[in-house]
Amino acid sequence: MSSLSNQTTSSINSATPAVAYKRPVPNFVVGLLYLLPSIVLFGIFLFYPMLRTLYLSFFLTDGQGVPITFVGFENFTYLLQSTAFQQSLKATILFVLYTVPVGVVLALFLAVIANEKLKGIGVFRTLFSSTMGMSVAASSVIWMFMYNPSIGILTTFISSLGGPEIQWLLDPRYALMSVALSTIWMNTGFAFLILLGGLQNIDEHLYENADITGVSYLYKLRKITIPMLSPTLFFVITVSLINAFQTFGQIDILTKGGPVESTNVIVYSIYKDAFINFNIGSASAQATILFFCILVVTILQFKLGERKVHYQ
């Protein structure tokens, strides 16, 4: 009887297929597969051009950008000693100082106003954010007509008040500020929307408790709104700084770097060296310097600015 049962058990075991044990795929491999499309795109369109630019900055190149002679740091040495590059660096720094603080404060002011629960406030929110729907080219053309010394609305308004005729885009004293003003107008819509979203995420109970204690509006703004909005402000300031360093479109349309190189910011100088003068080595060196300038400013922003950020 036992031999019969043993034979039956052996026949059942032989009929049942063996189940292969599958080893689980490591989480690192799974994550890498999900990231692979982004890694490929970033590698082709970001990392390779960046490394290629760094490589070309150490060479003299021909008109096609083919490296001819290795010169080491001579391109960088020449740029740092060049008056034209120093002027470009000065114009870039001034442009950042003109646009970022004023743009962020203006966007914050508009966001605080638009966050009030008033009848018809949606119309003002639409108006404040409308600049996001316009391209840099279209906005620059509008401002070009406004700055026109003959028919421009700004010139007409100042003349009606008895003021002097100002050559907004042709006078080195006013050209950079004029471009900065148009840039503030173009970028305010984006910063306004981000800050408005941050304001609407602040807990209403904080304001209700403040109203019960009878504190003033300015006190609530200083002690509740700004601290609770600090992460959003930190993001807006960082993005605004990076965008200001990379400004190109409005410079190209409004002034083309003039007059007297007063608006020749680094990005436009890179464009002229690369695509007008065909000096790819010098343009690559300028792009490398600009990259490290933005990197240093961003690191300082995270080191110094993030200390004042209040995370809920």
Residues with Cβ within 8 Å of residue 190, at least 6 apart in sequence: 131, 132
Q: What DSSP letter does each residue of 71-109 carry, written as one string?
A: -TTHHHHHHHH-HHHHHHHHHHHHHHHHHHHHHHHHHHH
Phi, psi of 68 (to 5 degrees): -110, -55
- pTM beyond 0.95: the answer is no
Going by C-beta distance under 8 Å and a sequence separation of 6 or more, which residues neighbour residue 172? Answer: 259, 260, 262
Domain positions in the chain: 83-308
Q: Are 134 and 186 in contact (CB under 8 A)?
A: yes
Q: Give the Cα separation of 237 and 302 in Å (integer).
A: 11
For residues 171 and 179, what is the distance between their CA atoms, to the nearest angstrom?
Answer: 12
pLDDT in 10s for each residue of the chain, 312 residues: 445 455 555 554 554 455 555 678 888 888 899 999 999 999 999 999 999 999 999 999 888 888 999 998 999 999 999 999 999 999 999 999 999 999 999 999 999 999 888 888 888 888 888 888 888 999 999 999 999 888 888 888 888 888 888 889 999 999 999 999 999 999 999 999 999 999 988 888 888 888 888 888 888 888 888 888 888 999 999 999 999 999 999 999 999 998 989 999 999 999 999 999 889 999 999 999 999 999 999 998 888 877 777 666
- Find how far residue 90's CA is from the centre of its chain: 20
Report how far residue 259's alpha carbon sits from residue 270's, in angstroms, rounded to the nearest whole number. Answer: 17
Contact call for residues 182 and 254 (beta carbons, < 8 A): yes
CA distances from 169 to 69, 95, 165, 166, 219 (A): 40, 15, 12, 9, 42
Architecture of domain 83-308: Orthogonal Bundle (1.10)
Question: Which of 265, 79, 273, 96 has the alpha carbon at shortest distance from 187?
Answer: 96
